[in-house]
Amino acid sequence: MNESVHSTTLEPSRNPRETTRTNDPARTMAGILEVATQEFAEKGLSGARIDAIAAATLTSKRMIYYYFGSKEGLYIAVLEESYRRVRNIEAELHLQDLDPETALRRLVEFTFDHHSGNEDYVRLVMNENMARGTYMAQSKNMQELNVPAIAAIQALYDRGVAQGVFRPGLDAIDIHASISALTFFNVSNRHTFGLIFKNGVATPQAQSLRKQNIVEMVVRYAKA
């Protein structure tokens, strides 16, 4: 059932615990998104509860609906924010200032570390794939948010080809997909893989080795 309230007719709740928050909408929304990320990642859209998010953020359901319109609207905002965060950090890697091979290595290392340290992100993506991308398709910003990721790979790849470091004929989206697949699986299948093969995949030593191997796989795939 769609839990929604039309923001055009609703004023934020004015109970005492909210009075200091209504004066800082950006901070309030950021806090709601942070808690909602955990709630949606853990329980999915259907299992997540707005009441729980409101209680954890010391706001109210009315306040959440005022800012995000509905439970589904909040979920879409969480998806957008999750991708926005990773793209913002990628921009800070300054890949354009590095030689092509070093830039590719840094990008793979960052992606591995991001996924390993943000299991909520991985769960959100898994949940949305189970929903066949239904809610991501409703986002007006998702494609625009991810354009820089492909542009950065294209730029470092083109420099690498021009310098004879990378072989020609590769596709930037395919490179991105390969990096994502290798680093995402490391988190998404961590528990089942570890239980089946009993290889201590989650230990720091195993993770360090896995990271090195993934970097080498991607770089050797791209190199001339």
pLDDT by residue for the chain (224 residues), tens only, comes to 444 443 333 333 444 444 445 578 999 999 999 999 999 999 999 999 999 999 999 999 999 999 999 999 999 999 999 999 999 999 999 999 999 999 999 999 999 999 999 999 999 999 999 999 999 999 999 999 999 999 999 999 999 999 999 999 999 999 999 999 999 999 999 888 888 887 777 788 989 999 999 999 999 999 99
User: In this structure, is residue 60 part of a structural domain?
Assistant: yes
3-state secondary structure of 13: coil
Alpha-helical runs (H) found in the chain: 25-47, 50-57, 61-68, 71-91, 100-117, 119-130, 142-162, 172-188, 190-197, 204-222
Domain range for 25 is 7-69
Q: What is the CATH number of the domain that holds 110?
A: 1.10.357.10
Co-location of 62 and 95 in the same domain: no
How many domains would you assign to the chain?
2
In order of 114, 130, 186, 187, 202, the CA distances from 191 in angstroms are 18, 18, 9, 8, 8
Co-location of 106 and 198 in the same domain: yes
Rounded to two decimals, the pTM is 0.85
User: In this structure, is residue 87 part of a structural domain?
Assistant: yes
Co-location of 48 and 106 in the same domain: no
User: In this structure, is residue 1 part of a structural domain?
Assistant: no
3-state secondary structure of 156: helix
